[in-house]
Amino acid sequence: MFALRCFTVWRTVLRSSLRSTAAGGSVISSVTLLIGSAFAGVYRLWAMFCMPGLRVPFRLKVPFLPSTKEQTLNVIKLLEGRKGHLADLGSGDGRLAFAAPSMGFQCTGFEINSMLLACSRSKAWWRGVPHTDIHFVKQDFWKASFICINVAVFLAPAVMGVLEEKLLKKLPEDARVIVCRFPFPHWPHSCTAGSGLNQVWAYDVHTAREPSRTSSHQSYFPSISSMI
Protein backbone atom coordinates (compact mmCIF):
# COMPACT_ATOMS: atom_id res chain seq x y z
CA MET A 1 0.00 0.00 0.00
CA PHE A 2 2.77 2.37 1.06
CA ALA A 3 4.83 1.32 -1.96
CA LEU A 4 1.91 1.99 -4.28
CA ARG A 5 1.32 5.42 -2.75
CA CYS A 6 5.03 6.30 -3.07
CA PHE A 7 5.03 5.18 -6.67
CA THR A 8 1.91 7.26 -7.49
CA VAL A 9 3.39 10.38 -5.87
CA TRP A 10 6.70 9.83 -7.65
CA ARG A 11 4.92 9.41 -11.00
CA THR A 12 2.89 12.61 -10.48
CA VAL A 13 6.00 14.56 -9.51
CA LEU A 14 7.89 13.24 -12.53
CA ARG A 15 5.02 14.11 -14.89
CA SER A 16 4.72 17.66 -13.60
CA SER A 17 8.48 17.98 -13.81
CA LEU A 18 8.47 16.97 -17.47
CA ARG A 19 5.62 19.39 -18.16
CA SER A 20 7.44 22.28 -16.53
CA THR A 21 10.64 21.43 -18.40
CA ALA A 22 8.72 21.65 -21.65
CA ALA A 23 7.45 25.07 -20.59
CA GLY A 24 10.98 26.17 -19.92
CA GLY A 25 10.68 26.31 -16.13
CA SER A 26 14.15 24.99 -15.35
CA VAL A 27 14.11 25.87 -11.65
CA ILE A 28 10.72 24.28 -11.06
CA SER A 29 11.71 21.19 -13.01
CA SER A 30 14.93 20.81 -11.03
CA VAL A 31 13.03 21.06 -7.76
CA THR A 32 10.38 18.57 -8.83
CA LEU A 33 13.04 16.19 -10.12
CA LEU A 34 14.80 16.50 -6.79
CA ILE A 35 11.59 15.72 -4.90
CA GLY A 36 10.93 12.80 -7.25
CA SER A 37 14.38 11.38 -6.63
CA ALA A 38 13.93 11.85 -2.89
CA PHE A 39 10.69 9.85 -2.99
CA ALA A 40 12.33 7.16 -5.10
CA GLY A 41 15.21 7.05 -2.62
CA VAL A 42 12.88 6.71 0.36
CA TYR A 43 10.99 3.93 -1.40
CA ARG A 44 14.21 2.08 -2.26
CA LEU A 45 15.39 2.38 1.32
CA TRP A 46 12.06 1.13 2.64
CA ALA A 47 12.09 -1.80 0.18
CA MET A 48 15.67 -2.65 1.12
CA PHE A 49 14.79 -2.94 4.80
CA CYS A 50 11.24 -4.22 4.64
CA MET A 51 10.55 -6.18 1.45
CA PRO A 52 11.48 -9.81 0.80
CA GLY A 53 13.19 -9.02 -2.50
CA LEU A 54 12.71 -9.94 -6.14
CA ARG A 55 13.06 -13.69 -5.77
CA VAL A 56 9.70 -14.06 -4.01
CA PRO A 57 6.72 -13.97 -6.44
CA PHE A 58 4.65 -10.79 -6.15
CA ARG A 59 1.54 -12.58 -4.83
CA LEU A 60 3.58 -14.10 -1.97
CA LYS A 61 5.44 -10.96 -0.93
CA VAL A 62 5.03 -10.02 2.73
CA PRO A 63 6.73 -6.87 4.05
CA PHE A 64 8.35 -6.60 7.46
CA LEU A 65 6.01 -5.60 10.25
CA PRO A 66 7.35 -6.16 13.76
CA SER A 67 5.25 -8.13 16.20
CA THR A 68 4.23 -6.48 19.45
CA LYS A 69 5.40 -7.57 22.89
CA GLU A 70 1.89 -8.71 23.77
CA GLN A 71 1.72 -10.75 20.57
CA THR A 72 4.98 -12.50 21.49
CA LEU A 73 3.64 -13.22 25.00
CA ASN A 74 0.53 -14.75 23.43
CA VAL A 75 2.70 -16.97 21.22
CA ILE A 76 4.59 -18.14 24.32
CA LYS A 77 1.28 -18.89 26.03
CA LEU A 78 0.07 -21.12 23.19
CA LEU A 79 3.37 -23.01 23.03
CA GLU A 80 3.40 -23.79 26.74
CA GLY A 81 4.16 -27.42 27.53
CA ARG A 82 5.64 -28.15 24.11
CA LYS A 83 9.24 -29.09 23.41
CA GLY A 84 11.63 -29.45 20.50
CA HIS A 85 12.43 -27.18 17.64
CA LEU A 86 10.60 -24.00 16.63
CA ALA A 87 10.65 -22.59 13.10
CA ASP A 88 9.88 -18.89 12.72
CA LEU A 89 8.82 -18.37 9.10
CA GLY A 90 9.81 -14.82 8.20
CA SER A 91 11.77 -14.00 11.34
CA GLY A 92 12.24 -10.28 10.57
CA ASP A 93 14.56 -8.70 13.14
CA GLY A 94 14.32 -11.86 15.24
CA ARG A 95 12.11 -10.60 18.05
CA LEU A 96 9.88 -13.71 18.11
CA ALA A 97 12.85 -16.06 17.78
CA PHE A 98 14.60 -14.44 20.76
CA ALA A 99 11.70 -15.51 22.98
CA ALA A 100 12.21 -19.18 22.02
CA PRO A 101 15.10 -20.16 24.36
CA SER A 102 13.10 -18.90 27.38
CA MET A 103 10.44 -21.48 26.44
CA GLY A 104 13.04 -24.23 26.12
CA PHE A 105 13.01 -24.28 22.32
CA GLN A 106 15.82 -24.27 19.84
CA CYS A 107 14.76 -21.94 17.06
CA THR A 108 15.48 -21.53 13.37
CA GLY A 109 14.46 -18.20 11.89
CA PHE A 110 13.90 -18.17 8.12
CA GLU A 111 14.38 -14.69 6.68
CA ILE A 112 14.97 -13.67 3.08
CA ASN A 113 15.73 -9.96 3.56
CA SER A 114 19.50 -9.53 4.00
CA MET A 115 19.19 -6.37 6.10
CA LEU A 116 16.79 -7.95 8.57
CA LEU A 117 18.90 -11.08 8.66
CA ALA A 118 22.03 -9.05 9.46
CA CYS A 119 20.07 -7.21 12.15
CA SER A 120 18.86 -10.42 13.84
CA ARG A 121 22.28 -12.08 13.60
CA SER A 122 24.04 -9.09 15.11
CA LYS A 123 21.44 -8.92 17.90
CA ALA A 124 22.12 -12.60 18.65
CA TRP A 125 25.86 -11.96 18.66
CA TRP A 126 25.47 -8.87 20.88
CA ARG A 127 23.31 -10.78 23.39
CA GLY A 128 25.67 -13.75 23.33
CA VAL A 129 22.95 -16.19 22.25
CA PRO A 130 24.59 -19.48 21.24
CA HIS A 131 24.17 -20.63 17.66
CA THR A 132 22.65 -23.86 18.96
CA ASP A 133 19.78 -21.94 20.61
CA ILE A 134 18.85 -19.63 17.74
CA HIS A 135 19.93 -19.99 14.17
CA PHE A 136 18.97 -17.47 11.48
CA VAL A 137 19.08 -18.67 7.89
CA LYS A 138 18.74 -16.67 4.69
CA GLN A 139 16.17 -18.78 2.95
CA ASP A 140 12.84 -18.44 1.18
CA PHE A 141 10.54 -20.47 3.44
CA TRP A 142 8.24 -21.28 0.51
CA LYS A 143 11.09 -23.33 -0.93
CA ALA A 144 12.63 -24.54 2.32
CA SER A 145 12.13 -28.05 3.60
CA PHE A 146 11.67 -28.01 7.35
CA ILE A 147 10.33 -30.83 9.44
CA CYS A 148 9.47 -29.05 12.63
CA ILE A 149 6.91 -29.78 15.27
CA ASN A 150 6.47 -26.14 16.26
CA VAL A 151 6.03 -23.37 13.74
CA ALA A 152 5.36 -19.67 14.34
CA VAL A 153 4.21 -17.31 11.60
CA PHE A 154 3.30 -13.66 11.34
CA LEU A 155 2.59 -12.96 7.68
CA ALA A 156 -0.28 -11.43 5.68
CA PRO A 157 -3.90 -12.44 4.94
CA ALA A 158 -3.23 -12.96 1.21
CA VAL A 159 -0.73 -15.77 1.77
CA MET A 160 -2.41 -17.67 4.61
CA GLY A 161 -4.41 -19.98 2.33
CA VAL A 162 -1.30 -20.95 0.36
CA LEU A 163 0.65 -21.48 3.56
CA GLU A 164 -1.91 -23.79 5.18
CA GLU A 165 -1.85 -25.91 2.03
CA LYS A 166 1.97 -26.15 2.12
CA LEU A 167 2.12 -26.92 5.84
CA LEU A 168 -0.62 -29.53 5.60
CA LYS A 169 1.62 -31.49 3.22
CA LYS A 170 4.94 -30.95 5.00
CA LEU A 171 4.45 -30.99 8.76
CA PRO A 172 4.42 -34.09 10.97
CA GLU A 173 1.18 -35.22 12.61
CA ASP A 174 2.09 -33.84 16.07
CA ALA A 175 3.06 -30.39 14.80
CA ARG A 176 1.51 -27.19 16.12
CA VAL A 177 1.40 -23.96 14.14
CA ILE A 178 1.03 -20.62 15.90
CA VAL A 179 -0.33 -17.90 13.68
CA CYS A 180 -0.25 -14.20 14.58
CA ARG A 181 -2.88 -11.61 13.67
CA PHE A 182 -4.14 -13.21 10.42
CA PRO A 183 -5.67 -16.67 10.96
CA PHE A 184 -5.71 -19.58 8.53
CA PRO A 185 -8.88 -19.42 6.42
CA HIS A 186 -9.82 -23.12 6.67
CA TRP A 187 -8.00 -24.96 9.45
CA PRO A 188 -9.91 -25.31 12.72
CA HIS A 189 -7.96 -23.69 15.55
CA SER A 190 -7.29 -25.52 18.81
CA CYS A 191 -7.06 -22.41 20.96
CA THR A 192 -6.48 -18.69 20.75
CA ALA A 193 -5.02 -15.94 22.95
CA GLY A 194 -5.28 -12.16 22.98
CA SER A 195 -7.53 -9.95 20.93
CA GLY A 196 -7.42 -7.40 18.13
CA LEU A 197 -3.99 -6.92 16.58
CA ASN A 198 -2.38 -9.09 19.28
CA GLN A 199 -4.55 -12.15 18.73
CA VAL A 200 -2.75 -15.42 17.97
CA TRP A 201 -4.19 -18.83 17.05
CA ALA A 202 -2.84 -22.34 17.64
CA TYR A 203 -3.51 -25.04 15.06
CA ASP A 204 -2.77 -28.74 15.51
CA VAL A 205 -1.93 -30.48 12.27
CA HIS A 206 -3.66 -33.76 13.19
CA THR A 207 -6.95 -31.85 13.57
CA ALA A 208 -6.52 -30.11 10.22
CA ARG A 209 -5.79 -33.49 8.61
CA GLU A 210 -8.95 -35.20 9.83
CA PRO A 211 -10.32 -37.01 6.74
CA SER A 212 -13.63 -35.12 6.62
CA ARG A 213 -11.81 -31.78 6.81
CA THR A 214 -9.12 -32.69 4.31
CA SER A 215 -11.59 -33.61 1.57
CA SER A 216 -13.65 -30.42 1.96
CA HIS A 217 -10.44 -28.42 2.34
CA GLN A 218 -9.07 -29.73 -0.96
CA SER A 219 -12.18 -28.63 -2.77
CA TYR A 220 -11.48 -25.05 -1.67
CA PHE A 221 -8.02 -25.18 -3.24
CA PRO A 222 -8.20 -26.79 -6.64
CA SER A 223 -5.03 -25.19 -7.94
CA ILE A 224 -3.05 -23.85 -5.01
CA SER A 225 -0.66 -26.82 -4.83
CA SER A 226 0.57 -26.01 -8.30
CA MET A 227 1.23 -22.39 -7.31
CA ILE A 228 4.10 -23.16 -4.91
> Residues interacting with ligand SAM, by CB under 6 A?
52, 56, 62, 64-67, 88, 90-92, 95-96, 110-113, 116, 140-142, 154-155
Question: In this complex, which beta carbon is closest to ligand SAM, that of residue 70 or of residue 140?
Answer: 140
Helix 2-22 vs helix 26-50: crossing angle, to nearest 10: 160
CB of 199 to ligand SAM, least distance (A): 14
DSSP 175-194: -EEEEESS--SSSPPSEEE-
Q: What is the CA radius of gyration of the chain?
A: 21
Measured from the CB atom, the residue of 111 and 165 that comes closer to ligand SAM is 111
- Measured from each CB, the residue nearest to ligand SAM is 90
183 Cβ contact partners less than 8 Å away, ≥ 6 residues apart: 160, 189, 201
Minimum CB separation of residue 129 from ligand SAM in Å reads 16
Closer residue to ligand SAM, CB minimum distance, 99 or 168:
99
Alpha carbon distance 143, 174 (integer Å)? 22
Measured from the CB atom, is 110 or 203 closer to ligand SAM? 110
Longest distance between any two alpha carbons in the chain, whole Å: 72
Q: How far is the CB of 141 from ligand SAM (least distance, A)?
A: 4
Shortest Cβ 15–ligand SAM spacing (Å): 32
For the bound state, the minimum distance from the C-beta of residue 111 to ligand SAM, rounded and expressed in Å, comes to: 5
Give dist(CA 209, CA 226) in Å, integer. Answer: 20
